[in-house]
Structure 1
Amino acid sequence: MPGKPSGLSLSPFDMPSPALAHFVRVAGSQSGQDRLFMVYQYAAYIAIAVLNSKRLRNKTRADVAIRIEKLRATISDARVLYRIFGIFPIIAWAQSLNDPARQPKDKQLLTLQRLQTWSMLLYYPLEHTYYLAGKGVFNISPQRIGKIAVWSCRFWAAYVVLQIFHIRRSFQLLRASRSALLRSTRERVRAGDAAPGVVEDERAQLAALATQEKNLKRDCWVQAGYLPLTAHWSIPGGILPNNVWVGVCGTIAGLAQLKGVWQATA
């Protein structure tokens, strides 16, 4: 008698696991891999601080903390390397904004997105330059590498600030769309129009608006994590007191993005 499908089962002798299949879809995508690595990269800062705390620290935990840090540094390095071709999707995005059929209909959103593409078009070459220079590919002094890294993060910070305004405008447009739809529904009800097709269409539109709102709220968490991070790296000496706060902010942004990838691959 066949058993019921399992949850997150790792046994090869069990029935197919829907949760494991879902995880494979996430981990098998480029965005999913990056988000999983990102969560580890930043959560590692918190784990290391806990293991090295006065209350818990001993020789064994200190050794574990060193191993966690080594893997964290490897993952951080790999994530920058994987972004080496990141500028090409940005160029494609910038080009799409010149197509009337694909660009946002709202002029504010269009302006914000155009500014965002410029910030990323400046961010990526600078990131690639300081990363490759740090590996010895380019002959640049350590002091200059540091300046390039700071300016790279400043353009990333600009993108984050613009994204916050983008979210704000998107919420305004969403509320206006919902109000218009509800107003249309009330007028239809007063007129006695209860055609099944119209009702189903309105329900579908409301569901789509609810999904947009949920995605915008999740993006708020992403930017809430990124804003202090990018500000920290954009100012020599930083603004966050220690790496624990870097870990907290990065983990918040990473988990919010990972949740989006998880839901998109459901």
Structure 2
Amino acid sequence: MGDSHPDSTTIPSADSAPVAPTAPKTATPRPPPRPTLLQKLRYILTRRLRNTAQSVDRSLLRLSALLSTPNGIDVVLCTTGYTLTLVYALGQQVLEKQLAAVATDFADKAADVMLPGETLIAELPASAGIKLLAQTVGSSKAIADVIADYRIFVRMWGMLGLYTWARDTYLSPLPKEATRKEKLLRGTTWAAIASCVLFQVLENGAYAASKGMLTSEAWTGDAGKKRETWWWVWSSRFWAAYVGCEILRLLIERAYREPRVEMAGDGEKEDKLRLEQEKKDSYNARFTWWKDLISNIAYAPMTLHWSIEEGVLSELQVGIFGTIAGGALLADAWRKTA
């Protein structure tokens, strides 16, 4: 027969059906091992070192930017010089007290073995602490003097900056409808320029004479020394006049300050950015005003001190006022490098 037949007509039962492979059991996840104390300390130390390195890097970049301008250099040297003057004055007081205490103690002990009318001359060895303090005091004074001399020297060509200041002021006259505030500020500006010019001329002459640059008969001998002192004193008086002009300018700005109006935005991105910029500008203006006020108030007694031959301040007071004045200027200059 031509028909083909299956080899088996048996119907497969359920028992004979192919069995599906059993899925493997999923392993229970285990929590990661807890870090050991050493690993925690290593992580904290690494993070601290990284943050410190980043902070030092930012500070060095800002310091580089600060010292890249003549004004920045002068501010740093001003603060450093007066701070060293303060260190010198404080160290000198401590040193004198320690030496007096040693001498008093030695005299009390020697009084018990000396006869009335006897004189004792002795050379006492200084302790390591007294030697270190004396070296610190001497170095502070020497560095402060070098900084002061350098700052006066680089100011010798400051007349060019004063010329630019006067020229810009002259070429920007006030409009006819100028307010009273603008007129007062312009008057204080011209007064400040005049006082700075006179200060600079007199200081340059006195400094040149002190360094032996002026050798004419008028600048030699007792007469020349007297003239040099006179120029130093009057240069400080015109510096005092400039400081007075600056304080007056600040008072005028505060007296005629326009009230700040809060502008409410409608929530748009541009309005938010504008409000943030206005707040930033307002903060910068307040910071600058207070910086100028603090520095000039601190400079005022120093200008009076050098305006009198005998002086009115001690070395300690000069260091305190100078550090405050320089510190205020340095804080503003450092803030601008951010």
- The TM-score range, normalised by the shorter chain, is 0.7 to 0.9
Indicate the residue corresponding to 1:41 in structure 2: 81
Amino acid at match of 2:146: T
Structure 1 regions of 5+ residues with no counterpart? 10-16
Aligned counterpart in structure 2 of residue 161 of structure 1, from 219, 244, 255: 244
Relative to structure 1, is the Cα distance of residues 4 and 238 closer, same or farther in structure 2, using a 3 angstrom cutoff? same
Q: In 2, distance between residues paired with 1:8 and 1:202?
A: 30
Structure 2 regions of 5+ residues with no counterpart? 1-45, 100-129
1:147 partnered with 2:230: yes
How much does 1:214 deviate? 1.2
Q: How many residue pairs are counted as aligned between the two chains?
A: 247
Q: In 2, distance between residues paired with 1:36 and 1:248?
A: 16
TM-score by length of 1: 0.84
Indicate the residue corresponding to 1:29 in structure 2: 69
Q: Deviations over 1:172-223 (max 9, x none)?
A: 34x3142xx34xx4xxx6xxx8374456435533431221011101111101
Relative to structure 1, is the Cα distance of residues 205 and 156 closer, same or farther in structure 2, using a 3 angstrom cutoff? same
Q: In 2, distance between residues paired with 1:162 and 1:146?
A: 25
Q: Contact 1:45/1:247 (CA < 8 Å) preserved in 2?
A: yes
Q: Contact 2:90/2:316 (CA < 8 Å) preserved in 1?
A: no
1:61 partnered with 2:133: yes
Indicate the residue corresponding to 1:114 in structure 2: 190
Q: In 2, distance between residues paired with 1:265 and 1:101?
A: 33
How much does 1:20 deviate? 1.1
Q: Secondary structure at the match of 2:258?
A: helix
1:176 partnered with 2:258: yes
Q: In 2, distance between residues paired with 1:205 and 1:39?
A: 32
TM-score by length of 2: 0.67
Aligned counterpart in structure 1 of residue 155 of structure 2, from 83, 91, 94: 83
Q: Deviations over 1:48-103 (max 9, x none)?
A: 12222244562331122112211111111111111111111111111111223799
Aligned counterpart in structure 2 of residue 226 of structure 1, from 282, 294, 299: 299
Q: Contact 1:96/1:102 (CA < 8 Å) preserved in 2?
A: no
Indicate the residue corresponding to 2:199 in structure 1: 123
More helix by share: 1
Q: Secondary structure at the match of 1:62?
A: helix
Amino acid at match of 1:108: L
Q: Which one has a bigger Cα radius of gyration? A: 2
How much does 1:117 deviate? 0.5
Indicate the residue corresponding to 2:16 in structure 1: none
**Kindly, what percent of the aligned residue pairs are identical?**
24
Q: In 2, distance between residues paired with 1:159 and 1:83?
A: 16
Relative to structure 1, is the Cα distance of residues 61 and 119 closer, same or farther in structure 2, using a 3 angstrom cutoff? same
